[in-house]
Structure 1
Amino acid sequence: MTAESRIHQLRAELDQHNYRYYVLDEPSVPDAEYDRLFNELKALEAEHPHLVTPDSPTQRVGGSALAAFSQVRHEVPMLSLGNAFEENDLREFDRRVVEGLDQPGAVDYSCEPKLDGLAVSLLYRDGQLVQGATRGDGSTGEDISSNVRTVRNIPLKLQGSGWPAVLEVRGEVYMSKAGFDRLNATQAESGGKTFANPRNAAAGSLRQLDSKITASRPLEFCCYGLGQVSETIADSHIGILEQLKAWGLPISRELKHAAGIEECLAYYQDIGARRNDLPYEIDGVVFKVNSLASQRELGFRAREPRWAIAHKFPALEELTEVLDVEFQVGRTGAVTPVARLKPVKVAGVTVSNATLHNMDEVARLGLRIGDTVIIRRAGDVIPQVMQVVLERRPDDARPVQVPTACPVCGSQVERTQLIKRSKGKETTSEGAVYRCVGRLACAAQLKQAIIHYVSRRAMDIDGLGEKSVEQLVDEGLIRSPADLYSLTFEQIVDLEGFAEVSSNKLLEAIKDSKRPSLARFIYALGIPDVGEETAKVLARSLGSLARVQVALPQILTYLPDIGLEVAHEIHNFFEDAHNRDVIQQLLDSGMQLQDEGDLAPEFAASTTLAGMIAKLDIASVGPTGAEKLVAKLGSLEQIIAADGIDLRQALAAKQAEAVREFFKVEANQQLARAIEAQLREFGMHWESEKKVVEGLPLAGQTWVLTGSLERMSRDIAKDKLESLGAKVAGSVSGKTHCVVAGPGAGSKLAKASELGVKVLDEDAFIVFLGEQGISV
């Protein structure tokens, strides 16, 4: 292919990508792929300058304005930035700047995160917002004035005084990660379109023809510079932004000054390390020569300033091919599809596998084996397939088929059934998950169950990593978690990775694990939908394993944050004969559960008969009807025995008939009696003895831990706070009582300072714990 033909091909492809990205808000390739194509075209045009045309993508920025919006001509073009992908690219940029300015010493730069959103222009006249526009093609954009007025952090009138008569502010409209998650959840619930990433969500929200839709979306704005301005504001870029902030315009909290290229590189590394903790998506860092006089001296190229550059992070999204789809078996037997990919580097890591979650997700994506797909990786998150590039689908692409037999043990694979319970009725539908019915007879399920059981947050058996567990299962040495406690030195010393010292250490760690807290033990069992917090609720509230094992679902729903579906999962787990056998074997091995005791005082005599009747979900009978029924008839037995006349004296005819029909069923009578009997047995019955509840000192308070604590782990700090009654949250809000900040604290500490939340360092925190009688 000739250079001219390739140039024409690249222009056509880039124009199509621009159209999909800027006009349709439906990009079909990740940014990294676009950058490669653009750089190839740029290099070819540099080699053959006579082939450069005014309509080449290298000679303009962005795409055409939507016909549905009126057009706005930018008095000062909105240019894009050159990119640096490697450290040497940035050093080369600095060399050009230094040579261009011909001045001694290091150049001063401004440093800001490069937000991943939509570039906009805001025009203020005499301090009033009069116009908002998209970048468009750099010269002409779309008039989105009505929409930008709905973005909450864009001031409609500037604060203070002294602003120029004409002030054009430029910046990025974006969506925070939390806002993006909320929007997609809302869209999914209402059957609307979900978005691939926050950038797409922001662009799609800002370019709605109906501004009421824009107003409902969690958009934010951050300014990064100026367009036209009727008078000078400051003599430096940072000075301009600080003045804009004084007038009420939001600027980046991460804005910093750097003296020379080494400080720029240090900033890049720092932001990169904190990237996943930032509340918004960024794809790099923007460095600008800080002095405006120096900016004017350096000037512009055709489409970008010589005094600024974007140092990009490794791409979070990439294109690759699906070579096959295999199925893995997890701890609960879930048979999960996994895409085997043509290896590709994403965010600096070579990726060859990506999760597909379940077959409903495969259907939603329309994925076939052989497809070209966009995959995304952020931080330590498992790479996932975001989108199929349909225009690249080969003719021999194959559909994904669920195996009928477990790929590990050969047992039958069944589709799960979802049971929805309401008002005494159960509705069954097909679930999204397929499950192997082999349980612990399936080596994959057994391995995952053991790995979970020995993990740090569960039984914390040091020395048993995934490979060690796999060896023990493959050698037939363990067939359930209980078998760990009968392992001998002779059985493990000859295994790969073990020797005399490590074998003795492992046996000692297994022995030490025999005194877990009740909460850790419950979590280690691997009950579906029971995480650490739910395990703690069960342990604190019911006080003993014996109560947790026999608790009826309706009893469990009296506990905080346990709904009926989770309650049924817990109850069904302990009803399973195999699970009961394993638990008994664990107890017989010498397990001594700590912290067991009485029912939590706040649950003693905490129920009412009316509340219990309401939990039976009798059709048409809610809490008010239940109270009327109890007021008239007085006891459960009288309610069960009541005839239609008695019931109609307490309730409306429809409700009375519903109660009569419900208790005509023998199984419902037995259930009601069983619930009352268990309430009495546990001490929760309304006739039980009421206990005095001593309030915990931090009850009702929310605390947040951030940074690295040096004298204790964050897990231990969390346990100590929870023992005092505090709730430990993962994010800072106006409801946060206190933040404990160790070295390396980042955005959470900044948020606490912004909201005026109390902050303790580790030393002060330890003193505080001592004052509460908690030793460290």
Structure 2
Amino acid sequence: ERVRRALPEAAPVRFACELKIDGAAVNCVYRGGTLEVGATRGTGEVGEAITQQLLAIAKVPYRLSDEDPPALVEVRGEVYYPLAAFEQMNAERIERGEATFANPRNAASGTLRQKDPTRVAGRPLALFVHSLGRVEGRSFVSHESFLDWALVAGLPVASSTVFVDDIDDVWRAIERFTIERHSYGFEVDGVVVKVDDLAQRSVLGATPRAPRWAIAYKMPPVEQQTKLRAIEVNVGRTGKVTPFAVLEPVAVAGVTITRATLHNEAQIHLKDVRIGDTVVVRRAGDVIPEIVGAVVSERPPGAVPWTMPARCPFCGEPLVRPDGEAHHYCENVDCPNRLLESLTHLASRAALDVEGLGEKTVVLLHDAGLLADLADVFRLVDHRDELVALEGWGEKRTDNLLARIADATARPLERLLVALNIRHVGPTVAKELARQLRTLEGVASAGTEELAAIDGIGPTIAVAVRAWFATPRNRQLATDLVALGLRTDTDLAPPDPQASPPLGGTVFVLTGTLDGFTREELKERLELLGAKVAAGVSARTTAVVAGEQPGSKLVKARDLGIPVLDEAGVRLLLGGEPLATVVEASDAARRAAEHVEAQQ
């Protein structure tokens, strides 16, 4: 409908329907037929150069086989890990006592980040080119003509792409792809539909976030049944306790699942899953394993409702559930698991990005007595001899790690704030704190009211930030990090007081239970972006956010034709995705799922 509205009424429109491969997005620039640079998409703002790593992948050509190549051509594609090889690799890692990859996408991304291209060559990554970027010295009239050229030029192209002339054939292609999704040998999580004609694409244009000539349809998740062997809990870096299911191994969407998240005690009771139950498992978004519910008719005699342990399994301290929150917490700052999770988080890409300081290394250095708090990461330079002496280390590995740690000291304030493990402070909130308050001392000295007045913060986050810096131990950590030379300012531009809020003039209604937010937290986040959150659905409602067990508000919204967002959609919205894009993607995914279900 969007395409038809924007193009002349009589213009025929042809569509390309191609598999949405769940891998690592990459760009390759060929100049004069020779690969000049390859890069990842990265965070969306900053990518990484991976030219040599891409050349280590079979069938990625250094020189195109076109005798008269374009002066410059940029091609975009997806690097993926074949499913059979992924399963074999994880089995081998288990035998060696190493951590496994959660999914093939993580395995592909992690492999591409290896500094040594020979390590990339040792894993069977593959690439499919799917899009054209910049081009000089050659013109293409259509997407099909570009793919035909790419194939002749020696670039790997998926043979599954089909071209159709009307929307009914688009739906038929989606249905066929959905039925065959597990026969391709790689992760598929949807179908991308594109306008084929490049001139028509120019007319349709793009939003700041996405082209108007393409849309992605999400496939419904695959579900399987298995036995729930046990329910255990993990304690994260902020002390949040998350229960998880230990399952009899089951293959779901090509990946063997042995564990699944259970979110919190309330969700376990809501789904009424018990140890010994036969449960329905799916991979949420085809990535994160989750339990849908129990097959109550097969429940064993004597199965009882699960309750949260009274004490932390790692330190023995009492677990508490703050008023108004769905999660329990271990409040012991000396809890060993909290420390390990905090150290691993500090080294993550969203925080200070210390390559080489992964979970396994953190445990090793902690057990060796070298890491007792976050500041100790930056004191490792004083323990070089001890690091060199560790089994399997030596000078090269030690110096590489110390160099990456030195690099991390130059990360800007917003990355440091993420690394500090302040409750509710992720990358988005950290950027707003840094943008407004400018320095670490500015954040540390800000009062609750000043913090709450910042766009995107509000009372809940303000209280958490103030409480963190009011704790003497945390203040000492901040002082130590400054003394160790970490950067404490930002390059972000100050806020523009004239800018209008992104959700100004919108009205949202909330219904059901969400995993990642309390109702009040989500209301606060939406209001800080300029939205109004109303109690009931009316013709003025912009969208309804529906979680688990929604009520009559959802029925009324559908009767009135009001857009409905799930938790994934509202997270995109809070992350800066335009409302129109989120609504359109949610509606398209729902229609695709309903169409496929009706055909089965």
Alignment TM-score, normalising by the size of structure 1: 0.39
Higher relative contact order (CA 8 A, sep 6+): 2
Structure having the higher Rg: 1
Alignment TM-score, normalising by the size of structure 2: 0.49
